[in-house]
Amino acid sequence: MSTTTAAVFAAAWLAVAPVHAADKPGYDQAHAAAKAQQQAAEKQCSTLAGNARDVCKAEANLARVQADADAEITYKDSAKTRHAASDAVAKAQYELARERCDDKGSNLKDVCVEQAKAALAKAQADGKAYERSAEANADADKVKRDADYKVELEKCDQFAGDAKAACVNRAKATFGR
């Protein structure tokens, strides 16, 4: 996987939202499965020699980091969790890219390393931007809901007695108050 492909993958991975939050046993099971898969992959890596073994181990590590990140997001989905997960994946992708650079010579290796560093920096910047954007969107949504709630309450002022109470109760139910 080239560093460009890795950066594209990281951005695409970050955008995928889990459908539901898992329970704690499911979360623990996902982590255990990721660890077992990494150990099995690393056992296969032991048949390789030199940099091929290092690349194989880095690939196994990346797969585990991605699985752990998915489990973390599924268990506790938030902008902060997504940012931390994308950062962990970006670092694992960087380590894999660095290992792949070791097979290159002189200037090609230097260029490869700089591409890996650039991909890491871009992925980390995207993660920060996503987290800030998500926080800003959440803040904006709260302000909008509060404003809409106030409008609904104001509409209730045209009524009196039970009609007004019913209107206020509907507004509270609609806006979760």
pLDDT digits (tens, 9 = 90+) for 15-40: 433 434 468 888 889 889 999 999 99
Q: Which of helix, strand or coil describes residue 132?
A: helix
- Domain locations in the chain as residue ranges: 3-139, 140-174
Let me know how long the chain is.
177
Per-residue pLDDT tens for 129-164?
A: 888 888 888 889 999 999 999 999 999 999 999 999
Distance, in Å, from the CA atom of 90 to the CA atom of 8, rounded to the nearest integer, reads 11
Residue-wise pLDDT tens digits, 40-69:
999 999 999 999 999 999 999 999 999 999
- Give the pLDDT confidence score for residue 130 in this predicted structure: 84
Q: Is 116 helix (H, G, I), strand (E, B) or coil?
A: helix
pLDDT of residue 106: 86
pLDDT tens by residue, 99-140: 999 989 889 999 999 999 999 999 999 888 888 888 888 889
Average pLDDT of every residue of the chain: 86
Residue appearing with tokens 């206020």: 168
